[in-house]
C-alpha cells in the first residue's frame, strides 16, 4: 500500500532517477512562482503606481521570516532521507511524528515576530514613504501567515525525502489556479490593491498545505502514525535542531543579505525598485530548474549516504552539473534577445523596462554559478554537512554587502551595481560550494 508514493533512490540509473524526481518538483516550483507572478503582474498593472515597488520591498523580508521554517523542514527531510536509505522504517515514522512539534513552535514564533516588528524593519530598509503603507499591509498579511508556510514546507520536505515529488505538485496546481482567480477578483474587481494580492496568496498556500497533508496521510505508509510515533523524542528534536538551525541560519543570512541589497535598491527610487522587482521575479523562475534539481540531489544524496553508497552521490553531482550547464547557456541567449519584452510583461513604465532589461543581461552571464550553488548545496545538505550551510550563508552576506559597497563607490557603475552584486555573489558562493565538495570532508558528515 502506498508504494507509488515512495521512491528508493539507492539503486538504478542516477540520471534517470534525478530527472524523474526533478520534473514534478520543477512543475510544482513553477506553479509556486506563479503565486508571485500573479501578484506582480496584476498589482503592477492594476494595483496603483506604488503597488509593485511595495511588494518588491517586502519580498526579501518575507524570506527572512520563512527561513527558520525552511531550515527546520530541511533538517527533518535530511534525517528522513538518510534513515529511509538505511532501512530504518519505524524511526522514520517517529521523525515524522516529532516534526509536528517542530512545525508548531517555529511557525507560530515567526508569525508573531514578523507582525510585531514589520514597521521597524521596513523603516530600517529605507522603504520610501510613498510605498510604506502598502508594503506594511502586505508584509503583515503574508508574514503573519508564516505558520501556514511552515506546515506546507514541512509536509513537502517529508514527502520529498521519501521520494514523492508528485503530491505537492498536484496541490500547487490547484492552489495556483485559485490564487490567480482571487487576484483578479480582489485586485482588479474589488480594487483591494496589495491587500487583495496578499489575501489571495495566503489562501492559496493554505489549500496546498491542507491538500498535501490529507493525501500524504491517506496514501503514504510512513505518514500513517500510531500514538507511539507521536511521543516526544528529545533525541530526534536535538538532531533536527542540529541539522535545521545551521540551514535556517544559512537561509536567514541569505535573506539578510537580500534585505541589505534591497535597501541599496530603494535608494535609487521607485523606477529602479520596479525594475529590480521585475528582474527578481524573472530570476526566481530561472532558478526553478536549478532549485528543483538541487532538492532532487539532496534527497538522492541523503538516501545514498544513509545506504553508504557515496560513489553514487558523486556520480549524481557530476551529471547534475551537465544539466545546469546546458540550461544556463539557453537562458543567457533568451535574456539578451528578449529582455525588454520580458520586463514589459510586468510593468508599463518605460524607464523601468529599460533598466530591467539591462539588469537581466548582466545577471544572466552568472547563471551557471547560480546552478552550481543549488547542486552542491543540495548535495552537502543531503549528506548532513550542516557546518558548511552556515559558512555558505556567511559568504553570501559578505558578497552582497561587500560587492555593493565596492561597486557603488566606482564611478560609472551606479545603479547597475545592484545587478552586478547579485551575479558576483553567486560566483563566489558557487565556487565555495565546489571547493567544499572537492575537499571530500562531506564523506564523514553522514548522520545515520
Tens digits of residue pLDDT in 75-118: 898 899 889 888 898 999 999 999 989 888 888 888 898 889 98
The answer to whether the pTM exceeds 0.85 is no
Q: How far apart are CA 34 and CA 40, in angstroms?
A: 9
Environment class of residue 251 by beta-carbon count within 10 Å: exposed (0-12), middle (13-18) or buried (19+)? buried
pLDDT at 357: 92
CA distance 185 to 130: 25
Question: Of the given ranges (81-90, 131-140, 385-394), which has the lowest mean pLDDT?
Answer: 385-394
**What pLDDT, on a 0 to 100 scale, did the predictor assign at position 37?**
67
pLDDT attached to residue 445: 62
pLDDT at 354 exceeding the cut of 70: yes
DSSP 393-442: HHHHHHHHHHHHHHHHTSTTTGGGHHHHHHHHHHHHHHHHHHHHHHHTGG
Lookup result for grid cell 483578479: 184
% of the chain surpassing 90 pLDDT: 19
Per-residue pLDDT, 334: 94
Task: Give me 273's grid cell.
Answer: 525598485
Q: Which residues contact 276 (CB under 8 A, 6 or more apart)?
A: 56, 262, 265, 356, 359, 418, 419
User: 273 or 95, which is more confident?
Assistant: 95
pLDDT at 90: 92
In order of 142, 193, 222, 347, 356, the CA distances from 43 in angstroms are 15, 7, 41, 9, 17
C-alpha span between 243 and 136 (Å, rounded): 33
What beta strand segments (E) does 16-127 contain? Answer: none
Mean pLDDT, the chain, integer: 85
Q: Is the pLDDT score of 401 beyond 50?
A: yes
Segment 122-143 shows an average pLDDT of 85
Q: Is the dihedral of CA 40, 45, 51, 56 positive or negative?
A: positive
Q: How far apart are CA 1 and CA 219, in angstroms?
A: 8
pLDDT at 448: 55
Q: Compute CA distances 46 → 72, 127, 164, 186, 193, whole Å.
A: 37, 21, 38, 11, 8
Angstrom distance (rounded) from CA 99 to CA 173: 25
Digit-coded pLDDT (tens) for 222-262: 998 899 999 999 999 998 888 888 888 887 787 778 778 88
Distance separating alpha carbons of residues 435 and 340, to the nearest angstrom: 37
- The pLDDT assigned to 261 comes to 84
**DSSP secondary structure letter of residue 3:** G
Query: What pLDDT is stored for residue 321 in this prediction?
Result: 95
User: How wide is the angle at C-alpha 144 spanned by C-alphas 143 and 145, nearest 5°?
Assistant: 85
Give the residue, 134 or 442, on which the prediction is more confident: 134
Q: How far apart are CA 118 and CA 390, in angstroms?
A: 25
Q: Is the pLDDT of residue 1 over 50?
A: no
Average of per-residue pLDDT across 199-218: 87
Q: Which helix (H) or strand (E) holds 72?
A: helix 51-85
Res 56 pLDDT > 70 = yes
* % of the chain surpassing 70 pLDDT: 95
Which among 404, 402, 409, 418 has a CA at the least distance from the CA of 271? 418
Least confident of 61-65, 108-112, 158-162: 61-65
| Mean pLDDT of the region 403-426 | 88
Amino acid at each position: 500500500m502506498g508504494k507509488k508514493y515512495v521512491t528508493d533512490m539507492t539503486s538504478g540509473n542516477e540520471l534517470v532517477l534525478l530527472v524523474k524526481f526533478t520534473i514534478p518538483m520543477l512543475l510544482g516550483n513553477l506553479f509556486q512562482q506563479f503565486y508571485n507572478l500573479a501578484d506582480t503582474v496584476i498589482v503592477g498593472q492594476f494595483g496603483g503606481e506604488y503597488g509593485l515597488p511595495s511588494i518588491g520591498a517586502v519580498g526579501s523580508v518575507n524570506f527572512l521570516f520563512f527561513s527558520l521554517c525552511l531550515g527546520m523542514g530541511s533538517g527533518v527531510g535530511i534525517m528522513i532521507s538518510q534513515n529511509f536509505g538505511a532501512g530504518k522504517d519505524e524511526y522514520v515514522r517517529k521523525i515524522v511524528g516529532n516534526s509536528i512539534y517542530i512545525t508548531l513552535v517555529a511557525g507560530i514564533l515567526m508569525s508573531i515576530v514578523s507582525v510585531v516588528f514589520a514597521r521597524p524593519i521596513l523603516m530600517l530598509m529605507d522603504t520610501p514613504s510613498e510605498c510604506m503603507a502598502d508594503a506594511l499591509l502586505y508584509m503583515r498579511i503574508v508574514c503573519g501567515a508564516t505558520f501556514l508556510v511552515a506546515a506546507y514546507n514541512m509536509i513537502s520536505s517529508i514527502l520529498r525525502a521519501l521520494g514523492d515529488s508528485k503530491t505537492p505538485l498536484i496541490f500547487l496546481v490547484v492552489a495556483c489556479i485559485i490564487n490567480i482567480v482571487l487576484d483578479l477578483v480582489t485586485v482588479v474587481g474589488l480594487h483591494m490593491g496589495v491587500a487583495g494580492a496578499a489575501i489571495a496568496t495566503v489562501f492559496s498556500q493554505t489549500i496546498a498545505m491542507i491538500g498535501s497533508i490529507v493525501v500524504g496521510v491517506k496514501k503514504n505508509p510512513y505518514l500513517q502514525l500510531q500514538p507511539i510515533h507521536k511521543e516526544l523524542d528529545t533525541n530526534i528534536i536535538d538532531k533536527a535542531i542540529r541539522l535545521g538551525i545551521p540551514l535556517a541560519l544559512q537561509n536567514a543570512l541569505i535573506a539578510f543579505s537580500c534585505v541589505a541589497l534591497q535597501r541599496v535598491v530603494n535608494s535609487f527610487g521607485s523606477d529602479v525598485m520596479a525594475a529590480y522587482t521585475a528582474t527578481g521575479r524573472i530570476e526566481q523562475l530561472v532558478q526553478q530548474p536549478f532549485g528543483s534539481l538541487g532538492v532532487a540531489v539532496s534527497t538522492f544524496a541523503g538516501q545514498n549516504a544513509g545506504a553508504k553508497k557515496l560513489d553514487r552521490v558523486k556520480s549524481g553531482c557530476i551529471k547534475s552539473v551537465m544539466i545546469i550547464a546546458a540550461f544556463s547557456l539557453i537562458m543567457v541567449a533568451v535574456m539578451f534577445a528578449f529582455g525588454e519584452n520580458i520586463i514589459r510583461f510586468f510593468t508599463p513604465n518605460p524607464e523601468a523596462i529599460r533598466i530591467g532589461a539591462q539588469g537581466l543581461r548582466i545577471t544572466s552571464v552568472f547563471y551557471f554559478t547560480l546552478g552550481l550553488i543549488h547542486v552542491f548545496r543540495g548535495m552537502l545538505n543531503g549528506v548532513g554537512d550542516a557546518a558548511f550551510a552556515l559558512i555558505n550563508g556567511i559568504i553570501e552576506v559578505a558578497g552582497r554587502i561587500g560587492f555593493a559597497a565596492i561597486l557603488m563607490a566606482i564611478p560609472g557603475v551606479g545603479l547597475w551595481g545592484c545587478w552586478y552584486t547579485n551575479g558576483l555573489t553567486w560566483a563566489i558562493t558557487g565556487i565555495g560550494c565546489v571547493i567544499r565538495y572537492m575537499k571530500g570532508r562531506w564523506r564523514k558528515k553522514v548522520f545515520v
